[in-house]
Chains A and B, each alone.
Chain A
Amino acid sequence: MKKTLFDKVWDAHVVKEMKDKQQILYIDKHLIHEVTSPQAFNELEQRGIPIFRPNQIVATADHNTPTLDQHLPVKDEMSRNQLNQLNKNCSKNNITLYDLGHKYNGIAHVMSPELGITQPGMTMVCGDSHTSTHGAFGTIAFGIGTSQVAQVFASQSLLLQKPKSLRITVNGKLKPGVLPKDVILYIIAKLGTNSGTGYFCEYAGSVFEDMSMEGRMTVCNMSIEMGARGGMIAPDETTFNYIKGREFAPKGDEFDKKVAHWKTLPTDEGAVFDQEYHFDAEDIEPMITFGTNPGMGIKINESIPSEDNASFEKSLAYMDFQKGQSLIDQKVNYVFIGSCTNGRIEDFRAAAKFIEGKVKAEHVTAWFVPGSQQVAKQIEEEGLKDVFEQAGFQLRQPGCSACLAMNDDKIPEGEYCVSTSNRNFEGRQGQGARTILASPLVAAATAINGKIIDITKQFD
């Protein structure tokens, strides 16, 4: 039978089929962080169950960490306690932890790929919905709740029903100024926030084949924003070249053997998906969101559509936008570049390319937050830090930061923030904050101009 990439990886991890379509799925790698793991550790301790495979777990501190003065004790008592708890739990159970200040510390979904932990054909989970990021490698990766974190602790497995399959094909060549973030915002705007629920998505077509690993990660990262548990892209030479030589990647003959296996993973010609969508690269423009879910997106030079629906109106009222309004020239006081969506080196390169030789708008507060220590190091080595500093921007220390604003990086009430993160939900970046999702290029242009500009005009 013809199989999809997803089928191949899933089927290779089924320990046992139970009745009612339930399957025991084996998990290769489990990433954990401070926010969604403590209750799972407690659960096991209370039941006297040991951690089954501690060497298949990697921990990082990312959600609830400051992005300034990380060498000092964390000021907020509850945050400090949560971080201490992670530390204690990991040392007690012999789990590798990249704690604050460690050279490998960073957002789980930035850290794991850059260290070569994420590899094609694996199953990976983390108590975080953006675990879908790792699908960029042809990995089955998805977010789980804390009860499931405890299940994986106890058995390195989960009891699941196999999701349905969905393929989104985008062919053609992207226009200048259109970034991977625009591609995924475009897809979500077209399909809506629940079109993927119950599905695992494969992204196919020349647009994704031509994309770098960083770009593919940005796309897969936001699969959950259309409801899909995960997104995947077939591994190819781009994937193999990215992994080769990384800290925990297989080496020598072992690597070649793995590559030979990884080459068997792409979807068979003629395999059938439960649902398929096709888009044309030429129709995609730089995108921007105007509402309070990631599906409420438009091309940057389009006007806000009209919808006669209470939830739509509630959303516009929260954003203080009107139907039919254009967002060009909208004054913006806050810009955030970072997160597991757009906190990788390529994102900072895109921002720096625009910023070089320019000066930031005086009224803008901009937070540039690398996704990991490794990204921070590379930003410095490539001279991007100097570009940012000369333009008046300050580079902060790694973490999830203003994407979910658990730390002090909160956008004040009523303020607009052009953000490269993944969610524009009410209050996501702080109580009353108004988030406008965009690519790192659009975010950089906003930071320089102090308002949203029609970036497409730069490329005419």
Chain B
Amino acid sequence: MDKFTKLTSSAIPLEIENIDTDQIIPARFLKATDKKGFGENLFRDWRFDKNGNTNTDFPLNDKKFSGSILVAGDNFGCGSSREHAAWAVHGYGFKVVVSSFFADIFKGNALNNGVLPVQVSPSFLKNIFEEIKKNPEADIEVDLEAQTITLLSNQQSESFEINSYKKTCLINGYDDIDFLVSMKEEIQAFEKDRVE
């Protein structure tokens, strides 16, 4: 898994609420048996029309926006448990997603793939959208160690929550598999002792 410590980047704004995993990666692209190539189809049906023509109005296609931070409306990632959504976000090149609320499963999937979900207050989210509107190249700094997100253009900052175990995993690029395998003796003891 990619390590994450600190990132300074401009951001791509997606001011839509309740973006579900079917928009992030439509089901017809879930037929692969590996994790590669999902980035190409991120937000497929919003980025392209049915004939494959680029929808130039869509922020990801708008040349004035760039960067490895995605800023999205409330309740990002609701819907299905498909981790393909996190692979698509990661595969496209995003390292951070900022929103005022994340759906549970997406949030976990993102963390398991080195993508940091940063939950900010609704007012700070509005602030970010407004800053990007004023200056699409406005840089945002995300510091995982300090758990802060800062709009460098106006120096406004907010702190964000993250479970400290998950934080350590991200900083070191660890995942849960190694940890759980290391707990095998405890797990076997639990199996032996349990009464029902």
Contact = CB atoms under 8 A, between A and B. Distances in A.
Contacts of A144: 81, 105
Nearest to A79: B31
Interface of B: 15-18, 20, 22-23, 26-28, 30-35, 45, 50, 73-75, 78-84, 86, 101, 103-105, 108-109, 112-113, 163-165, 175-177, 179-181, 183-184, 186-187, 190-191, 194, 196
B183 A24 contact: yes
Contacts of B84: 146
A425 B75 contact: no
Interface stretch (A193-201, A340-348, A371-379): A193-201
Contacts of A426: 22-23, 45
A121 B196 contact: yes
A159 B82 contact: no
15 contacts: A16-B186, A78-B31, A128-B81, A129-B81, A143-B81, A147-B175, A147-B176, A147-B177, A154-B180, A161-B163, A404-B80, A405-B27, A426-B22, A426-B23, A427-B22
Contact of A159 (B20, B31, B103, B179): B179
Interface in A182-200: 193-194, 197-198
Contact of A425 (B20, B31, B108, B176): B20
B190 A26 contact: yes
B147 to A, nearest CB: 14
A15 B20 CA distance: 33
B80 to A, nearest CB: 5
A437 interface: no
Interface residues of A, number: 72
Contacts of A229: 104-105
B75 A193 contact: yes
A399 B16 CA distance: 32
A55 to B, nearest CB: 12
A358 interface: no
Contacts of B176: 147-148, 151, 158-159
A358 to B, nearest CB: 33
A22 interface: yes
Contacts of B163: 20-22, 161
A406 B108 contact: no
Contacts of B50: 413, 431-432
Contact of A24 (B73, B78, B103, B187): B187
Given A155-B181, A194-B101, A426-B45, A293 B20 contact: yes
Given A22-B163, A406-B28, A431-B26, A145 B78 contact: no
Interface in A403-456: 404-406, 413, 423, 425-428, 431-432
Interface in A1-49: 12, 15-16, 18-22, 24, 26, 35-36, 38-39, 42-44, 47, 49
Given A26-B190, A157-B187, A314-B16, A145 B105 contact: yes
